[in-house]
Structure 1
Amino acid sequence: MAVDPTSDSVQSQALGRQAAKGAAWSGISTIVLRLGSLVVGVVLARILAPDQFGVYAIALTVQGILMTVADLGLSAEIIRSEEPERIAPTVATFGLASGAILTAATAGFSPQLATLLGDRDASGAIAILALTLLLAGISIVPYGMMLRRFQQRELFLIAVVDFVVSTVVTFALLAAGLGVLALAIGRVAAQTVASTLQFVASQIRPRFGLDRDQWREVLAFSLPIAGANLFSWILLNVDNIIIARVAGATALGFYVLGFNIASWPMSALSQMVRSIALPYVSRVQDGAAVLPRMAALVWALALPTGLALAALATPLIHVVYGAKWAASIPVLAALGIYGALRVIFDLFAGYLYALKRSRPVLFLQLFSLIALVCGMVITTPRYGIVGAAWIHVAVSVVLILPGYLFILRATGVRLAALFRECFLPMTAAIPAALVAFAAARYIPIPLVALLVGGLGAVLAYLAVTGRWLRSQLKKARAPHPAEHQSAGP
């Protein structure tokens, strides 16, 4: 049976427009919310002492890891399934069950978890944040459906409401003297509102049930993704656990501040990549052919940003947070580089999930976790938080990047095409980083160094890549031949 190539082309163009619109809204969302979070984070850093910052970081570490487990990879199954409405009750049931069990277990064992991580004072915040696990489990279906439909505009508006609620509640409770608990309560209040709005925006009513023909298939796809996501989160947070145990909450506070700064732009880019990669690649006919072009655009944004953060670490810390946080400077220098790599890894993972290749990602995350833990245990007692930061870079370059390239090649991705597409942004980022480094090194006034270095890096980068970036963006809006190949008769 022949497939109408005209219809195929129209569908692919519509999908491309949806993805581009979704990416644009996702980008706007992440930029606006990251700027807002930056302002709030600066105020909190000037209110809280490093040890208080460390206590909340311990609680967030537990919440972040368990939140990944609570999802069970089910939102990804909603995104890529050909029959999302049919599997929705099964997914909702699994999500509710996992969220409820993890909430009860986390709250019940919060003192033991806090003690295990090196600071018993975190137990109250851990117990409160446990409620977010239940909320996340309940809202898996509407959240997954909104991502599937590229409803990034609605997700942005919900995120704005979430941010406003969290900020207002947090500062009100801080003024009332609740300390670190104010941050945890603010997070729970915000997520309660956001989860409710997701049901409203997606026009989905809670439905529960188990389809005997579907639940095994759902878990077979979802659980490896949940495992891979869990290991990914542990990779991002195992350093917090080790530092809290070895160096204490104060050192962890300095480390987390550096990590958070590195995450400002990188988490924004990662969120945009994750929101688009899986639903887009799931519906193109030859993902292996379009991946190099996608990777080039992602790398063109992530690499210069990461290198600029590393080069401008000193003036950035002094201007935004003040001299009392200077111990975070070498941490940021390392994690800026790591953050750029993490964004491209998110793209690779999304591509592989779309192809149902979640198991190789799971194994790669497992091996990476083992290497990271071993490296942290060896280096942190001797080199402190700086050694912990550079271990992230080493594991990413030596193990994770080669591992992903090996897996991608097995799916049909031409590595030569991938390297060729990424070569120009990689080479252009080097002089841009040197401009930023020179400004940070030779201009004595931190604010002037930050402004001159940042602007100079942008101009140097665009001087080399400006025409190429315009060309790539035009290609991204147009359908790729691989996206609408016609089938034979």
Structure 2
Amino acid sequence: MSHSVNAKSITRNVAWSVLSKTGTFGLKFVTVPILARLLTPDQFGAVAVALTVVQFLAMIGGAGFGAALVIQEDEDKDTIHSVFWANLLTACVMAGLLFLFARPVSALFGAEEAAPLVQIMALLIPLQLTGDVAYALLARRMQFSQDAVWSMISETAGALIAVGMALYGYGVAALVAQLFSSALIRLCGLYAVSGYVPAFRFKLKRILALGRFSLGMMGSEIANFVTFQSPMVVISRYLGLTDAGAYSAANRFSSIPNQVVLSAVMGVLFPAFSAMTHDGERRSQALMLSTRITTVLLAPMMFGMWALAEPAMLVLFGPQWAWAWPVLGLLAFSKAILTPCSTFIPYLKGVGHGDTLFWWAVIRAVFTTAAVAGTALYGTLTDVMIALCVVNAVVLFGYSFVVFRADGTPFLKGFVLSTRPMASAFLMAFAVRFGLDRLHDLLPNPVLQLVLGAVAGGAIYGVLVILTERDLLHKLKDMVQRRRQARLSPHAA
């Protein structure tokens, strides 16, 4: 790594990343419901199918070379340029093949009518892959503040363009324009702030040298992709585009808290854990602290969304989506179950347990796909969401065992500490949902239900955290005080 990693640098970069994702959260919190009111479930479903194919090919095309660049000791120019040209060539080939075979690929998803969208969105693959090198350079330098700025700019521009086009009746083209404009603006921004200028230098041996790590990362990323995207594929094929659109809209909205916290934290923790590979005690402390903090932040958001799903769907998405509130609620519940696992992937990547990450990702992908496919064949969309909750509960135990064993932390101790905030969040959400059910006749207005539920949930969870997480709160307080003292000590001297 080219830059030293310490608690101060990690905290600063996490703060910038969280700021960026919070801005994105605010935009999506507004734009997703607006677009859902202006577009139909079928239109959401068609774009979701096309985007699933594009993201899968873009991930394969990158082959993990960007992640491999992050952990290199030095910024070797030959290696960097070689990765750029390898990514660009692969991206162009994949985009061309997807354009030619868009119809049979769409038919495989049970959505042949989405073929024209697949052809257009194939061009997203080069836009995504050509930015990998610039982002990898910023990540290895721990310059996440610059990436954060351009992420906010690109997401803001894309959201405004999408809403504007939807209001003027452009329909599904609004969603496509959002994806392209955001990708293009962020690509230009990454190159501007990283200072990277491609040079025509390609050395195959440098690519091959990265192969072992990158292929391992690609394998685990593919397995994780299957885990997260197989529900969309199965729902589209067996339940139709309307259900696929409902799942896509609910998934986009319920993923917003994850994108705020996890995307920010994971991007910083990967290079941070990598720098702590040979310091076991410091690494274990960082793992447990980051896991507990992310769980304290994420669990109440996700369980709270489950508790308020019914009024939230009606208020935010409109009457045409009201029938899908169980989908939103159960999706949020399934994601809430996994909040203690939020730091596990960057940990295993950063400390060199690529094989463990790969095999566990494969096992998870197989069980998730099998459970979703089995319930979709014989049940409804709600049944599929329940199956996801069951699978994720099993994954929580398995993932925790794998990671704590790799770290040398006693399983029971690590599991209790990491899941305790989740238990508090569930108790809070259950109390809110129980209370709203009892007060439904006295409080029929869904807006008031949302406001009352959010206020009551925040108060209940705050009390529970103070009662159960005192040691964590003391640690955070001490960290803040030490930072203040370190900042003031030079002036005092």
Residue type of the partner of 1:451? V
Kindly indicate whether residue 50 of structure 2 is the aligned counterpart of residue 59 of structure 1.
yes
Q: Which residue of 2 aligns with 1:483?
A: none
Residue type of the partner of 1:357? H
Structure 1's unaligned 5+ residue stretches are 1-10, 480-489
Measure, in 1, the Cα distance between the counterparts of 2:200 and 2:396.
38
CA offsets 1:76-106 (integer angstroms, 9 cap, x no match): 1122221233431232222222222221122
Q: 2:86 aligns with which of 87, 94, 97?
A: 94
CA offsets 1:39-94 (integer angstroms, 9 cap, x no match): 11111111111111211111122122223223221221122221233431232222
Change (3 A) 1:252 1:371: same
Q: Which residue of 2 aligns with 1:487?
A: none
Measure, in 2, the Cα distance between the counterparts of 1:277 and 1:213.
29
The TM-score with structure 2 as length reference comes to: 0.88
Measure, in 2, the Cα distance between the counterparts of 1:211 and 1:412.
40
Measure, in 2, the Cα distance between the counterparts of 1:272 and 1:106.
31
Superposed displacement of residue 404, structure 1:
4.7
Superposed displacement of residue 406, structure 1:
2.4
Q: Which residue of 1 aligns with 2:476?
A: 473
**Is the CA contact (8 Å cut-off) linking 2:49 and 2:232 kept in structure 1?**
yes
Measure, in 1, the Cα distance between the counterparts of 2:47 and 2:419.
41
The correspondence of residues 10-409 of structure 1 with structure 2, limited to 5 A, is: 15-86=6-77, 87-174=79-166, 177-211=169-203, 214-284=206-276, 285-286=279-280, 287-399=283-395, 401-409=397-405
**Is the CA contact (8 Å cut-off) linking 1:270 and 1:343 kept in structure 2?**
no
Measure, in 2, the Cα distance between the counterparts of 1:228 and 1:324.
38
Measure, in 2, the Cα distance between the counterparts of 1:423 and 1:249.
36
Measure, in 1, the Cα distance between the counterparts of 2:92 and 2:287.
38
Change (3 A) 1:163 1:323: same
Q: Which residue of 2 aligns with 1:7?
A: none
Measure, in 1, the Cα distance between the counterparts of 2:359 and 2:389.
19
Residue type of the partner of 2:365? L
Superposed displacement of residue 179, structure 1:
2.6
**Is the CA contact (8 Å cut-off) linking 2:28 and 2:253 kept in structure 1?**
no
**Is the CA contact (8 Å cut-off) linking 1:159 and 1:194 kept in structure 2?**
yes
Change (3 A) 1:423 1:229: closer
Change (3 A) 1:35 1:405: same
Measure, in 1, the Cα distance between the counterparts of 2:167 and 2:447.
30
Change (3 A) 1:243 1:147: same
Partner of 2:380, secondary structure, is helix
Change (3 A) 1:31 1:407: closer
CA offsets 1:395-435 (integer angstroms, 9 cap, x no match): 22224641452254034233244234325423422332133
Residue type of the partner of 2:414? L
Superposed displacement of residue 343, structure 1:
4.4
Change (3 A) 1:67 1:340: farther
Q: Which residue of 1 aligns with 2:432?
A: 436
**Is the CA contact (8 Å cut-off) linking 2:309 and 2:329 kept in structure 1?**
yes
**Is the CA contact (8 Å cut-off) linking 1:440 and 1:449 kept in structure 2?**
yes
Percent identity of paired positions between Structure 1 and Structure 2: 22
The TM-score with structure 1 as length reference comes to: 0.89
Measure, in 1, the Cα distance between the counterparts of 2:464 and 2:169.
52
Aligned residues: 469
Partner of 1:82, secondary structure, is coil
**Is the CA contact (8 Å cut-off) linking 1:125 and 1:180 kept in structure 2?**
no
Q: Which residue of 2 aligns with 1:4?
A: none
Superposed displacement of residue 29, structure 1:
1.1
**Is the CA contact (8 Å cut-off) linking 1:368 and 1:400 kept in structure 2?**
no
Superposed displacement of residue 162, structure 1:
1.2
**Is the CA contact (8 Å cut-off) linking 2:82 and 2:204 kept in structure 1?**
no
* Aligned Cα root-mean-square deviation (Å): 2.4
Measure, in 2, the Cα distance between the counterparts of 1:97 and 1:359.
28
**Is the CA contact (8 Å cut-off) linking 1:291 and 1:413 kept in structure 2?**
no
Change (3 A) 1:341 1:215: farther
Measure, in 1, the Cα distance between the counterparts of 2:99 and 2:419.
49
**Is the CA contact (8 Å cut-off) linking 1:364 and 1:400 kept in structure 2?**
no
CA offsets 1:438-480 (integer angstroms, 9 cap, x no match): 343224221111111111111111113245553243466699x
Q: Which residue of 2 aligns with 1:3?
A: none
Greater CA deviation, 314-323 or 167-176? 167-176
**Is the CA contact (8 Å cut-off) linking 1:424 and 1:465 kept in structure 2?**
no
Measure, in 2, the Cα distance between the counterparts of 1:71 and 1:180.
28
**Is the CA contact (8 Å cut-off) linking 1:125 and 1:181 kept in structure 2?**
no
Change (3 A) 1:379 1:218: same
Measure, in 2, the Cα distance between the counterparts of 1:96 and 1:216.
16
Residue type of the partner of 1:140? D
Kindly indicate whether residue 457 of structure 2 is the aligned counterpart of residue 461 of structure 1.
no
CA offsets 1:370-408 (integer angstroms, 9 cap, x no match): 212221222113321112112222222224641452254
CA offsets 1:299-356 (integer angstroms, 9 cap, x no match): 1122222211111111111111122212221112221122234444341011010112
Greater CA deviation, 395-404 or 261-270? 395-404
Greater CA deviation, 97-106 or 231-240? 97-106
Residue type of the partner of 2:26? L
Change (3 A) 1:393 1:209: farther
Measure, in 2, the Cα distance between the counterparts of 1:198 and 1:160.
12
**Is the CA contact (8 Å cut-off) linking 1:311 and 1:437 kept in structure 2?**
yes
Measure, in 2, the Cα distance between the counterparts of 1:422 and 1:231.
24
Measure, in 1, the Cα distance between the counterparts of 2:303 and 2:212.
39
**Is the CA contact (8 Å cut-off) linking 2:34 and 2:163 kept in structure 1?**
no
Change (3 A) 1:212 1:75: closer
Change (3 A) 1:121 1:48: same
Change (3 A) 1:307 1:226: same
**Is the CA contact (8 Å cut-off) linking 2:98 and 2:118 kept in structure 1?**
yes
Superposed displacement of residue 147, structure 1:
2.1
Partner of 1:353, secondary structure, is helix
CA offsets 1:96-136 (integer angstroms, 9 cap, x no match): 22222221122221122222111222112212221121112
Change (3 A) 1:321 1:91: same
Change (3 A) 1:212 1:112: closer
Residue type of the partner of 2:231? D
Greater CA deviation, 291-300 or 77-86? 77-86
Partner of 1:206, secondary structure, is coil
